[in-house]
C-alpha cells in the first residue's frame, strides 16, 4: 500500500491498473474500506503538547 512520506495520503489502486489509483487521505481510505467513519481527537501525548504550545498548562 503506497503511502506518501510527507502528507501520508494513500494511493488507492482498487479497480485501477497498479500505480493508477487516486491519492486519498488515510481517514477516507479507512472509512471506505471498513465502513467505519473515523473521527479526529488527540492522544494524551499530543493533547499535552498542544496545551503547552498554547500556554494552557
Per-residue pLDDT of the chain (57 residues; tens, 9 = 90+): 899 999 999 999 999 999 999 999 999 999 999 999 888 899 999 999 999 999 997
- Specify the DSSP class assigned to residue 3: B
Which residues form the domain of 34? 10-53
Write out the three cell numbers for 9: 495520503
* pLDDT given for residue 25 in this prediction: 94
Residue 41 lies in a domain: yes
* pLDDT given for residue 40 in this prediction: 87
Q: Are 3 and 25 spatial neighbours (Cβ–Cβ below 8 Å)?
A: no
- In angstroms, the CA 35 to CA 20 distance is 23
Three-state DSSP at 26 gives helix
* pLDDT given for residue 37 in this prediction: 86
Residue 2 lies in a domain: no
Residue 5 lies in a domain: no
Residue 1 lies in a domain: no
Helix H or strand E segment including 7? none
Residue 31 lies in a domain: yes
Residue 4 lies in a domain: no
How many domains does one find in the chain? 1
Amino acid at each position: 500500500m503506497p503511502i506518501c512520506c510527507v502528507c501520508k495520503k494513500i494511493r488507492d489502486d482498487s479497480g485501477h491498473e497498479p500505480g493508477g489509483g487516486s491519492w486519498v487521505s488515510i481517514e477516507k481510505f479507512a472509512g471506505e474500506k471498513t465502513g467505519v467513519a473515523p473521527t479526529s481527537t488527540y492522544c494524551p501525548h499530543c493533547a499535552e503538547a498542544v496545551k503547552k504550545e498554547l500556554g494552557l498548562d
